[in-house]
Structure formats: structure tokens, C-alpha cells
Structure 1
Amino acid sequence: MPSLAPHIPGVPGSGIRRITHLAAQLDGVRMLAIGEPDVPVAAHIAAAAKAAWDRDDTDYGPNGGIPELRAAIAEKLARDNRLTVDLEQIWVTIGATQALHQAMTLLLGPGDEILIPDPGYTTFTMTPSMLGARPVPYSLSPDRRFVPDIDELDRLVSAHTRVLLLNSPSNPLGAVFGEDVLRELLAFARRHDLWVISDEVYEYFTYGERHVSPAALDVDDRVFSVFSLSKTYAMTGIRTGYLVTPPGFAEILRTVQEGSISCASTPAQHAAIAAITGDQSPVAEARDHYRANLDAATALLDSRGIRYLTPAGAFYLWIDMSFASGGDVDAWAERFLLKERVAIAPGSAFGRGGEGWIRVCAASAKRDLLAGLAALPVPDERSDSATEHDKVAS
């Protein structure tokens, strides 16, 4: 039998999906491992998708997306992200995952390197590995308030480095980069002549911090921006996102999009138009709901003496289980699932910097969230963590 491409067996699997796959085989599991909002999709969004199906609007669309959706996205970018772009810079994708893949396909070849956050989302490692490129982690640590260290980034750059990947608000940390930090990171990218890919999936979920799009600060057209409707509008299964490129990539993207997906689902795009142009109160209500869940969850963790990161954005809690996990949080998370029937994401799924931590989704139903957190072990008096369980500032 012929072999697979030599680099494919080395692509790391998703530690999140491993846990969720195991959880799906069990009964009575409280699912806190994946970023699945517990709010329903708004009625006007569902109606727009249904109407497209009912009128048989199911034909192929343009590679970059139907014009009405691209126009709606352009207006949204100008209003919310301080970005003025041509419609040919907007490319509708099958979720943010494909937008990330598309950007990396354009910018990375075999042997190239991309600087990725550690801890950082799983596809930041998986996607470049699928392309034969090499992900190079840079650390996000509590002692630096989870802000990248420019000196470390300078040391990590090599002759093969092509891309810097940024993620704010961060998954899994919930860290939000301010404008000054982003200006420093863009200056670093200019100094080393790197492309920048900015993952902004959680742009509407910040708490006391303003989301800033790096492309709004870009002075020389090096930023590719990745957005999604999945979390904002509870449309995770509808799989609609978009990639915003610097000027001048339309011709090559028509080719690349055709060779990968041809076009996104037409009914899904009509749902996206309704989401972006319609009533935005469900987004504000979801944000308030997630914030209330986070407040209730952190109060419970405080009462139990468990250390965690206070998120400035997204809807996750990054919780320290190093006192219990014995240096292998992945194996501990599996044992915890089997014993307590609570699925949480092991921090090691997000990079070496996540060892000893877990990620919990606070967008879950509050009763499941609090019951799941109540099942976590508590640091005992002999644990180093027991004397330093205060929340970590974001």
C-alpha cells in the first residue's frame, strides 16, 4: 500500500477533540471542553437560512462570497474594526478554521516557520504542520500578564520565519492585547519583514477591554485578519467565517478558493447577512450571559481555593490543576472525565505552556458549569498551590 505524505503522520491531534470523542461515548457527561455557546441562534438568522432553502437558493456562489454578504462585512469592518477595505479583500470561508488554513496556504511553504502563541489554539499548530511548515511557539506567561515578550520573539526568528500569528482575545487564555502592545508587535513584524495573521474570533466578547484589530494599525499591508460568526451569533455548526487580506490578492485567492472549497454554502451566507445586518441585541445578551457565568464560576473557584486566570475576553476559564495532575494533565483530564463525568480541555492541548492547567468553557449552561467546577479537586495544605491560589491578573 502506498504511504501517506511523509509530514502528515507528524501532524499533532487535537487534545480537545480526543476528550470530546471519549465523552460522546459516555452517558450523563457535563460538556465543558469545547467552545459551544448554550444560547440558541437568533430567530431572524434561522429564518434567513430557511428562506434560502425554501426558495431553492442553493446554487454555486462566487468564490469570495455573495456580493450582499461581502458588502455587509465591509460595513461591519468599517463600523466595528476601523478597517476600510475593498470587497475583493473579503473572502467568505467555511468558518475561521478554513480562513486560517487559507491564509497559511498563501504564506507558508514546506520548511517555513510561523511564530504561534503558547498556550494557543490547537489549529495554530496543526495547520502549519499539515502544510509541511514548522510552528514555533512563543510564550504567554502570567509574569508578563500574557503579553508576548519582544526579546523572546527576536530570539526565535530565523532565516525560515515567515509569519507571526496573533490571537486577541485569546483562546484559551482570554487575554486581550491593547493598542500599544499591538503596535509593538507590528513593529517587530516590520523589522523582520514578517506577515501577520490575526485571529479575532472572539472580538465581541471582551470585559472592560476594547478589542483592537491589528489591521487597523497596519501601515504597510502585512496583516491577514481572520473572523468568524460562530461564537458571536451561536452559529458554530453553520460554519461561516471570513478572511480579510491586504490589497492585491484577489486573483490568486480566486484560484486558491476554487481549489479548496469553490465557495461557501449559499444558505449559510444568507444566514450570515441576517446575522451581521440584523438585530444585534442577541450578541449583547450573550455577552452579558457569559460574563454572569464567568462571575459565578470565579466566585465558586475563589471559595474553593483554586487558582485561575481572570479572563479579559472570550468565554473560557484557565484553571490551575498542577497540584492534582501530576505532570500529565492530559491523562488527568481523561481520568477526571471517567470518574466525574465532566469533560474539560487539558491545557497541554494548547501547547507546552498549558501543562498543569485546564480550559473550561463558561458558555455552557450555568448549572453544568458550576456542577463541573464543584467536582474539581481542591488544593490541600501540603500543596504549593494552596498558599498561592489567588486569581492571576490578565
Structure 2
Amino acid sequence: MDLAWATPDCIHLEVGEPSFPTPAHIVEAVADAVRTGWTKYVPNAGIGELRTALAEKIAVHNGFTVSPDQVIVTSGGIGALFTAMLAAGEPGQGVLIPDPGWPNFAMIAQLHGLRAQPYHLRAEDGFLPTVEALAAAADAGTRVLILNSPSNPLGTITPAGRLRDILRFAAERDLWVISDECYDAITFDDTWTSTAAVGEQDRVITVGTFSKTYAMTGMRVGYAVVPPVLSPVLAKLQEPTVACVNAAAQRGALAALRGPQDEVRRMRDAYRERRDALAALLDRLGVRYIRPAGAFYMWVEIADRADDAHTFAMELLRKRAVAVAPGTAFGASGEGWVRLSLATDLDTLLEGARRLADFTLG
């Protein structure tokens, strides 16, 4: 990324951040909160109104019922993942992590002294998790399973039936399941199901964020939805880590939930349009890819033009001024692939894809 920003006229397809501004009514709510005194400490678990609004959102959008006491407001989705993993696992225990998967999963595990246990997502399985892959990666010391649907970097969505099988596996192994659902509002094909809606709610921790849905990445507001036994634990863990989430930003998050959702739909529709246009172009150019059902990424195969994804990405940047994320940044199973972000304007996205399709390492 440093090299990309230093490259003149670079086409940036490596960044996983919404390309849209934060909706105006959210910005105004934050500004009004600052003006009216929301500059002090608030409860560790978050302001009551926001927790109530999130419980309502979970019921309507995610399809399962929780009390506001089960919702903990965190410092972004990563804050929820950090405290959830800290609460669920003991040092030395194992955490099943998707490969390819978001690299921060393994980073958090390392900070907590947990053992990252990658479970492979294979092209022949549609890059979806299987019980067989989980069983192969697990051992007697495994304690936590991380799921991510819609997936970053893959854009895949795990079907409800597969989630049901995985939850049975988790119950047999007595595992906590942390379900990263940070892209739950950016889905295209009506196939997404929240993990806890399938069952086993007493062992599932659901992680969400305002960053992607409402283009609020810098405001750092996320949340964890936890079983009742864990809610006081996660609330207490906020004290030595962040104390509380920015009070004014929480008021902005409340405005996001309570206000109009037109901008959310507009952003989602724009990502869908970019997905479809990019897919049509790659089809014409004969480039293989995984068609994303959610999130805003395209997983593109480059195995026929390079033996090393990292070298391919670096040389594509140097020689064609196109920045993409090498698949190996997301785990060993990402070799032979790169991730393209749809979070840029359509013309720039398509030009970057043309340059990629025309580039071969060697």
C-alpha cells in the first residue's frame, strides 16, 4: 500500500474501504452531539439507546432475537473481534481461522497467545467452509471457530444448510463460534443468513460494524451480540482496552440506524453494478474469478500468468500502475489469486482490470 500511494496515477484496487462519503445526516448527528455535550465518558457497553436500536436491527435484519443487554458497542468490528476472542479463548488454545481470510484474525489470536489454526477454503468447494476442512485443522485444544460471511477477501456467502452443519460440528467440539458479519448489508443475491439465526445461539458471538454499511470507517463503531453469559464479560473487557467507544460517534451510529436507509441501498446497488460490469469484462477477457455474492471484492485467478501472487501484485503495480492485494496476504491458500476492491468508480475499476488481464509475469 505504501508503494501504491507513492506511484503516480496509480489505480487503487487494493483498499477495502467504501468509496462513498458518510451520509450527511450521520455527520450532522455527530457534530450536534459534540456541540451538545456528548464529549464525556459513557458506559463501557455503549449508550442505552444505541444498544436498543441494535437489538431491533438484529431482530429485523439478522433474524434472531436478543435483548439490548446482549449487545456490546465496540471500537469498530475489530474491537468486537478482539474482545470476543479474548473472552472465548485461553492462551495456548486453538482458533480455527479461514484461509483465505482476513489477516487480522490471526493477528488478534497472536496477541492473545492463542494458536491460529487455518482451515482451508478450496476452489473446488467454491471457497466455502466445510466440516471436513474444520475437522482436519482442529485438535483437542481448539476452543474457538471464526466464520466470515460475506467473506473478505472472497465475497462468498455460506449457505444456511452449511452453517447448520458447522454449528453441529462446533457443538460436538464445544467450540465458541465468532461470526464476522461486518458486510451483512452488502449482499447482492438474497442468499445471506446470519449464523445465530440458524441455531445454537448460546455459543455464537455475532460481530457487526457501521464502517462498511454506512461508510463510517474512521468513526470506529462496531458491536458484538453475545449470549447472556458473556455480555457482562465483554462489557468489562472494554474498560482496560478502550474504556468506552467515542460518545459522539455512537450518537452518529444511532442516527444511522434510526434515519433513512436510502444511502445504504444506493451504495449496495453501486457495488452490485460494479460487480456485474467487472464480471462481464473478465468473462470477455477470459479471466477466471469467483463471483461475489456479498461484500465489495472480486477474487481473481492469476495462476496462469504468475507462480507467485505477491510478486505478481508488486510487478503489476510497478509496470502497469495497478494496485491489487495478493491472495497470499490472506493465507497460504490464496496463492494463485489476487483481490480486487469494488470500492472505486466504475471506469477506473474496469481500466485496472484490463491492465491486469493484459499482464503476465515473466
Query: For this structure pair, what is the TM-score category when the shorter chain's length is used for normalisation?
Result: over 0.9
1:157: Cα distance to partner? Answer: 2.1
Q: Work out whether residues 176 and 209 of structure 1, in 8 Å CA contact, stay in contact via their aligned partners in 2.
A: no
Q: CA deviation digits over 1:239-268, x for unaligned, max 9?
A: 111011111223322321101100000111
Alpha-carbon separation, structure 1, partners of 2:68 and 2:281: 47
Q: Work out whether residues 289 and 300 of structure 2, in 8 Å CA contact, stay in contact via their aligned partners in 1.
A: yes
Alpha-carbon separation, structure 2, partners of 1:46 and 1:333: 36
Amino acid at match of 1:223: V
**Corresponding residue to 1:31 among 12, 19, 43:** 12
Alpha-carbon separation, structure 2, partners of 1:266 and 1:73: 16
Q: CA deviation digits over 1:216-238, x for unaligned, max 9?
A: 22336000110011111111111
Alpha-carbon separation, structure 2, partners of 1:250 and 1:306: 47
1:155: Cα distance to partner? Answer: 2.8
Match of 2:45 in 1: 64
- Structure 1 residues 179-328: aligned runs within 5 Å: 179-219=160-200, 221-326=202-307, 328=308
The answer on 1:331 being equivalent to 2:311 is yes
SS of residue in 1 equivalent to 2:21: coil
RMSD: 1.6
User: Any stretches of 5+ residues in structure 2 without a counterpart?
Assistant: none
Q: Work out whether residues 61 and 263 of structure 1, in 8 Å CA contact, stay in contact via their aligned partners in 2.
A: yes
Match of 2:62 in 1: 81
Amino acid at match of 1:217: V
User: Any stretches of 5+ residues in structure 1 without a counterpart?
Assistant: 1-19, 384-394
Q: CA deviation digits over 1:313-364, x for unaligned, max 9?
A: 11110001112222x2112211211222221111001111101100001121
Q: Work out whether residues 324 and 377 of structure 1, in 8 Å CA contact, stay in contact via their aligned partners in 2.
A: no
Q: Work out whether residues 173 and 318 of structure 1, in 8 Å CA contact, stay in contact via their aligned partners in 2.
A: yes
Q: Work out whether residues 182 and 214 of structure 1, in 8 Å CA contact, stay in contact via their aligned partners in 2.
A: yes
Alpha-carbon separation, structure 2, partners of 1:132 and 1:250: 22
**Corresponding residue to 1:340 among 320, 324, 338:** 320
Q: CA deviation digits over 1:41-97, x for unaligned, max 9?
A: 111111101111222311111001111111110111111112211222111111111
- Structure 1 residues 332-371: aligned runs within 5 Å: 332-371=312-351
Match of 1:156 in 2: 137
Q: CA deviation digits over 1:270-309, x for unaligned, max 9?
A: 1100111110111111111001011111111112111111
**Corresponding residue to 2:355 among 375, 380, 387:** 375
Alpha-carbon separation, structure 2, partners of 1:201 and 1:47: 24
Amino acid at match of 1:64: A
SS of residue in 2 equivalent to 1:289: helix
**Normalising by structure 1, what TM-score?**
0.88
Alpha-carbon separation, structure 1, partners of 2:72 and 2:237: 11
Alpha-carbon separation, structure 1, partners of 2:144 and 2:234: 18
SS of residue in 2 equivalent to 1:283: helix
SS of residue in 2 equivalent to 1:369: helix
**Normalising by structure 2, what TM-score?**
0.96
SS of residue in 1 equivalent to 2:144: strand
